[in-house]
Chain A
Amino acid sequence: MSLDLARWQFAFTSINHFLFIPITIGLAFLTALLQTAWHRNGRGEYLRLTRFFGTLLVINIAIGVVTGIVQEFEFGMNWGAYSRLVGNIFGAPLAMEGLAAFFLESTFLGLWLFGWDKLSRRVHLLTIWAVAFGSALSAAFIMAANSWMQHPVGFVMVHGKPVLNDIWAVFTNPVFVWGYSKVLLVSLVTGASVMLAVSAWQLRHGADRAVFTKSARLGLIVLVPAILFTMLVGDELGVIEGQYQPMKIAAAEAQWSTCQPCSFSLFQIGGGNNDQTPTQIIEIPHLLSLLATNHWNGKVVGMNPLQAQYSKQFGAGYYVPDVFIQYWGMRTMAYLGVVVLGIAVWGLWLIRRKKLATSRAFLLVAIWGVVLPFLMNTAGWLLTESGRQPWIVQGIMLTKNGISPTVSTTWLWISVVCFVALYGVLGTVDLLLMLKYARKELPPPPTETDADLEAPVPAVQY
């Protein structure tokens, strides 16, 4: 029970945390681009857009920051045995994150928000880039830590305990390099989708067409390459994970026995850990081989042989993750990715036809399309984290051995209830505020005196 509660709590808080993180990283970058455009051409609409999307960014950063503190504390609170065992490796990137990235992001966010009329325009522009850079760098350290759990590197075992002996290896871990690239790309996808959706809503509701067409275009221009590269990088990440965590990939295809070449099923009926013969619908030959190995005739080892191999290697136990989550997590992520790509390409085509601002059908799809990246991200994290089970650190420590031994079930229940209630309230408030500010009118065009480069722009205040 304690194990389930601790896992459930961590999943709940991290999934929530990662709703806000990609908006922050993506939107910080896009806001920095808008402000740069204003800085270079001095045109008032870019300043208005910067302020408009900057407000949305800040609403999100607030909750992203506070949910991040929970993440940091949870390792010690719920996963004491884990922290004790691997803190000397896993803790290092977290400490570095704070020192090198989070300080930068938070301090410069204050400077950006309140510094409009106190800093020179050039320096003020640098502060938003520092926020964007800091938030992206933050994710790098967190992903280095997470990747170590998926594929531990750079350590030696001393008396049954992993001890770091090569920090460089932790930051060149292939799972990290590809996983982090993917996080950056999906952050751009998420941020760009938000920008596109908000602009689309504004265009549909008669807002200043000249202004919001610009932000819709910026969103699309970032979205198309970002989603394309997300797919390519995601494919490569799958191959790498297949190499180090074959069980994860086998479970994602519900592949119980070894196959070569392997086909990919679009859907299945039944399945799960107790049903080894689901009805698979529309099988595409060779596709799984390609996805999992990059080879036309690649071999994918099934879960049954892997289970036998792990039982021999690590002792008796059940080493198969939740097959249902794996199978559908993989498909939700991939299929939604295709839908996002479709929307993006449609938008690009409309830009070419100069109809972006007037195609009401596209604008409606673009508005509702904003939920897709969030579902996609969540499915992706379920796939990668649940797919590591039963390990907390692949091959080194089982999740059930990682919990805090003296934290009682009662304490866990209290904390779960508290976090669910608080996150529920704050998530709702955040959503309502986002909707409210996304539907607001733009700040008015700068007046003649404001438009010349000499007048100060008022600062944001609480």
Chain B
Amino acid sequence: MSALIPFWFIVIAILWTGFFILEGFDFGVGMLHNFVGRDEPGRRAAINTIGPLWDGNEVWLIVAGASMFAAFPGWYATMFSGLYLAMVLLLMSLIIRGVAFEYRGKRDAAEWRRTWDVSLTTGSLLAPLLIGIALGDLLHGLPINSAQNYTGTFWDLFQPYAVLTGVTLVLICLLHGATFLSLKTTGDMLERSRQLARRVAPFTAAAVTAFVIWTHVSSTSTFFLRPLELLAILAVLAAVWLVYANRDGFAFAATTVTIASCIISIFVGLYPHVMVSSTNPAYSLTVDNTASAPYSLKAMTVVVVIFLPLVLAYQIWTYYVFRRRVSREEFMPAQRPTVPAQSIPAQEVPLRAAPGTPSSALARLRGALHGRKL
């Protein structure tokens, strides 16, 4: 067996982990933006905490999918065709959520924004739920025949372990998003973010503990938890304590570790399988019977080794550029006596403001605060 086969399994695990760490808080913010921001400026401030970041974060999912296609075509084919309707739902969630960011502010009408708020919230809830169910199904087994094809129905996907995985991921994303918002907002929004984190945290901890124990029981027969599983539980307990202690930065680090250890433990539990067959263990998909030819893996290895570090570098730089907190005041409607407020789309407020009005003064002040080279 080519050493590149396990290497690519690890790459895919890393891509899924990266996706959930980064897009995890985007999902959380998407679900929570309505609760953290109680009015229009507040909601916009909440959305803008992830505004510059979410698109780049979502690419992790696309690359994870494409890498499965290229490195393990059999896995990709069985999983995507077997989970067919779940995939349709997932795509629809990702679509309504993705356009919601762009389109929400493009018309200044309460109903219009309301529609996109609902899209954003629904999409951000369904996406981690469905992906979680899918990952749970991989590990827990699905009816798969000897030709590596799924033979079950849509409802077979909703087995208890898979549903638990989905719910756990949603709860982790909620907590992760709330701690992220605690780091990125100010004033009463910050207070509400912390409050939400405190409310969610115990449920997240319970779900993660249940998930870890069930994963352990279903993938190994030893009694003691593996270090990774122990880490997941410790991290989520630490997160609970940290959100109650208002240690936002450490709390966010703890939720990050929780997500990472949960996702990685799924992949560790899977290996060397990639999809377990509940019809007959011999029909299970493994890294070997689904992998691409060694040459393809080699070609892609060159690309991933060059580009993944590069991607990490510029994404880290992006987070550095947008490190400031976002405050509700930035989105308060400016006082513009000469122009009726309704004809102006919210997005263009700073640009349209006449000199000397609060918003343009604020924009300039922000520019100065952000340390632009004047």
Contacts and interface: CB of A to CB of B under 8 A. Distances in A.
B218 interface: no
Contacts of B303: 95-96, 99-100
Given A100-B307, A462-B51, A80 B149 contact: yes
B66 interface: yes
B105 interface: yes
Given A91-B292, A167-B299, A107 B322 contact: no
Interface string B71-86: 1111011111110110
A431 to B, nearest CB: 12
Interface stretch (B158-166, B263-271, B361-369): B361-369
A102 B44 CA distance: 26
A237 interface: no
Given A406-B151, A415-B84, A117 B366 contact: yes
Interface in A447-462: 447, 449-450, 454-456, 458-462
A161 to B, nearest CB: 9
A414 B88 contact: yes
Given A111-B318, A433-B106, A91 B304 contact: no
A393 to B, nearest CB: 14
B161 to A, nearest CB: 22
Contacts of B81: 76-78, 80, 404, 406-407
A2 B77 CA distance: 17
B30 to A, nearest CB: 12
Contacts of B63: 95, 98-99, 102-103
B106 A69 contact: no
Interface in A89-119: 89-92, 94-100, 102-104, 106-111, 113-115, 117-119
A71 B263 CA distance: 26
A18 B352 CA distance: 34
A68 B73 CA distance: 19
Contacts of A406: 81-82, 149-151
A100 B149 CA distance: 32
A65 B59 CA distance: 10
A415 B88 CA distance: 6
Interface in A63-86: 63, 65-70, 72-73, 75-78, 80-81, 83-86
Given A66-B95, A80-B149, A95 B106 contact: no
A92 B300 contact: yes
A125 to B, nearest CB: 15
Interface string A414-449: 110011001000100100010011000001100101
Interface stretch (B202-210, B239-247, B343-351): B343-351
Interface string B37-53: 00000001001100111
A69 B66 contact: no
Contacts of A436: 106-107
Contacts of A158: 293
Interface in B100-157: 101-107, 147-151, 154
Contact of B56 (A106, A115, A163): A106
Chain B contact residues: helix, strand, loop or mixed = helix
B94 A66 contact: yes
Nearest to B102: A62
Contact of A98 (B59, B295, B321, B373): B59
A263 B96 CA distance: 50
A88 B73 contact: yes
Interface residues of A, number: 86
A72 B65 contact: yes
A293 B279 CA distance: 56
A88 B98 contact: no
- Residue of B71, B77, B372 contacting most chain A CB atoms (<10 Å): B77
- Residue of A80, A100, A405 contacting most chain B CB atoms (<10 Å): A80
Interface in A207-266: none
B374 interface: yes
Contacts of A273: none
A8 to B, nearest CB: 15
A-B complex: 6 closest residue pairs judged by Cβ atoms: A87-B73, A76-B80, A456-B367, A91-B70, A458-B350, A62-B102
Interface of A: 51, 58-59, 61-63, 65-70, 72-73, 75-78, 80-81, 83-92, 94-100, 102-104, 106-111, 113-115, 117-120, 158, 163-165, 167, 404-407, 411, 414-415, 418-419, 422, 426, 429, 433, 436-437, 443-444, 447, 449-450, 454-456, 458-462
25 contacts: A59-B106, A67-B95, A69-B91, A75-B69, A75-B76, A76-B77, A77-B81, A77-B88, A83-B76, A84-B73, A87-B74, A91-B69, A92-B299, A95-B67, A95-B69, A99-B63, A102-B63, A117-B370, A118-B322, A158-B293, A404-B77, A458-B350, A458-B363, A461-B51, A462-B347
Given A73-B87, A95-B63, A111-B321, 9 more contacts: A65-B98, A66-B95, A96-B303, A104-B311, A107-B56, A117-B372, A120-B372, A456-B367, A462-B104
